[in-house]
Structure 1
């Protein structure tokens, strides 16, 4: 009897492992000269709303200005999930012989409970660097059968015209020459602001390699190949511009271009160890509403069931681009991590206030209410959280002194603040 039980148990374990799968959420975003572009006050809060809503496992960006901006975004991600880490920030080197402004960089952030950053490499081109990040899935099987994802983040030359098309093509040729030195069977994700207007552009044709001359060919997981510019047939993959009014920074003109992409190597369509999930490619904030053409993304013309006016307003205020997202799937099982604590709430600014208490709430804490207590432990005020990310509470009626914030959902020690009018 014991032998039969053991055999059944072994078969169950085998079956469980055989059908194990994990999904990963990817997001690429042109963050519009972050943090130097300051036309919109407190722009970071809109990015935090976006990140909290999607919670990517891998977050890839371009148009990052400096180390301060890199750390600021990491701080925001770590407030949502302390497991987030980033690659090392590196200045653009490709423009050293042109302008050497070094004001637009790429970077990647990732959930370190799911991925290990194995290496990072700068790939130079005629205009801007490509950044190559080799990620390993942190799985139970990683020691005997490691699965890697080679992620390349880019920002091709902007603007229309044959001269700019030629520069984009030359940049892509530099990338292809680099990829030709790597194994043909690696799993590659290429994410970036391509600035292409049509699939007929030489740069895009070089990526999809219809002549089969490249070591690694790319496919469009959205399966939306065509002439995207000013073509409402492709409204669901358009990413730029989110704005029609000036004064926000970036481009205006409304929604009419597909500039932002996540593409994968062809093998990631069918590779069970790591592949993209069919129909998971989305433009975050795009409701595929044809009335949105040439409109601002936060207008009622862009309404739909997938993305609310609240999140579309955050997207409108943060950047002139929309993020693109894609989900990947592996047949491996993630390794178990030790429990990590989270910061449930923190002050926005100082804990010494005049009349308004400002807090940022971690949604993972799942707080329902906050309680304000005085020095004697008496409840002075109760604040409803209602899944809010930000709390602003008027405290002008309260006397000067020391107060404490607690919650029934928390075991942490109270958060102290001082009212000093």
Structure 2
């Protein structure tokens, strides 16, 4: 670092707006909008002294940081912990916590396996599974949309597609919950999951073995890629683990978000029923509006100028994806859930090299479930007070009681 760069960095640090806020406090996790509004108003880069991190909330700068893996790599971890100085609680993800060239081969393998063309083979089966589940759930007019639909459907179809046995699938949600909590500080949410972390991690790792995975599933195809030499045998189980780590919780909370959106926006549900082709737009708009993944960290690889401020080398940035997805500089009426909007460009699935490789899977699950519901349900309404589930990274519902009025 040159003297000029050092002076520039120090000047930027003293001039930066500062917010003495804890983005992982329970009141913020319950309702993050006030903090997001303060960050959006404060400036392009805001210093959060509680964790000594640099916050980005505006869409322009979050998008820029997400796509700039050279300056803001993921290899030091996408959480508060810095893997250059701290040992991670589990071997880092080859997809989420690695950069080129280490990231390239595993990413290429999963991109082929999870691409839109490959997923067409699952479409008929998943639509039939959705019809079957919806028929059973609607036998009762009131139900919890989280447990009955948002959790039940992904836990039914996605592990089948990966090829893991049915026994023990209930472990996937607490494992993912702890994983996403661990991206934040060592607070009470992390402490809550610590006692079972080893047990759950061992269970997931066991399901990544070649011998456990069903023939023809995503997992077996990852191991076949290792046999071809596309990835190494040591990488194969870690790539399978990436599916089980990031492919369940995020979809569950995305589905819960879109079901909540329709429960409180009956006019938008009517629009979907009139035009079922809007199902994928509805899911993406709900991901923008609710942002199931709220935040991710990166680490500055050098002194980086962003938004007129310098983020010093080796320091963590905290990207507020949810704030970017409601930035009025990017979106008209950002707080409104609106199916006439083009939500493409939201950062709910990330952006750039590390953009969610399983997003097409999530969209297909959403399309199947929403299509089945649209044929049967005239409207939804809340049947009680929804309750949030707090997680350091995820925006989630614990309970979403709804009443369905059948068509």
The two structures have a TM-score, normalised by structure 1, of 0.23
Give the number of the structure whose residues are more often helix, by fraction: 2
Give the number of the structure whose residues are more often strand, by fraction: 1
Greater Rg, structure 1 or structure 2? Answer: 1
Q: Which structure has more RCO (C-alpha within 8 Å, separation ≥ 6)?
A: 2
